[in-house]
Structure 1
Amino acid sequence: MAEHIRILRCDQCRTMEELPDYEGSPDRDYVLGALIAKRHTEQSGVTHVGQLMRVEKQHWESTSTRKEILRQLAMKTTGFDPEVYNADAGYRADAMDCWKKHLRVRECADYKIGEKRITPNTAAERKEAGLPKYSSEKDVYLCDFCPAKSIVQEKVFKKRGLYD
């Protein structure tokens, strides 16, 4: 029987993390529970949205196969190439620069405006292939990496009645 590992993809953090395989009761998956509690739970107690996947270990250990697995996962789930995930620190740095430029405001007038939308640089290839301009149901903005986002999220959650 093939040996497996698990990959946890977090949509909020834009990360993918490797975990050892586990096939028992989810209530007893202490490694996953600890990881979620430590890295993927907000101070409010709200956990991040993501997906847990099983992959054969031999495929994951092959550099070329791993790259293809990551590419397919990213394209299926976000519509973005894996470079978006690899560039995560770059986007965080850009978001921090933007936040500082706006004098560290709690509410930003530029929040999720069109200029802040992150899109793959595939316009020429799409045109050459006769495809329409890029569009996605899951838009990602530079603002998603900004500290001010938590304030916006808190207001949305309060409006929905998720806070006392």
Structure 2
Amino acid sequence: MFNSESTPFQAGSIATTTFFENNTKNKKIIGVHIDNKLCTIGARLRNKGNNVVCPNHKGHCSANMSESDPIGDEGRWSENVARNISNEVQVTGYTGDGDSRSHAGMSKACEHTILHFKDIRHLGNSLKRAVYAANFSSNKFKESSNANLKKSLCSVN
């Protein structure tokens, strides 16, 4: 599916969430959840004029979510993974990006408090935005070094 002004659906057709452990050097996958809107049989039947609704239409349907469902519900996907692994793994900490609801989904699925850590890339980008937006005092730095300071602070990886 494509996102355009005439298409009411969110761009994309597959949502994937993967959980990794962070206690060993191997960083093994401990949980995966995949939802998709793709069903070639349903598309073929609709092209022939049949009224087919995915998922679960008569016959084989490879979609497990409706075309109108949002794929960006990170909280729901994380909650599904957390519920699937809860009998085998007790999660105490979760590292994720700070701009999603995945931690909320993880917390909803668990019966205990989950520490939420921010990943370094997202944290670094947030700090860069804050430095660029900061109003430095004109008395604190020389005018020419003010821009250089922002550039220096924002180029640190």
Q: TM-score, normalised to structure 1's length?
A: 0.22
Task: Compare CA radii of gyration and give the structure with the larger one.
Answer: 2
Q: TM-score, normalised to structure 2's length?
A: 0.23
Where is the helix percentage greater, Structure 1 or Structure 2?
A: 1
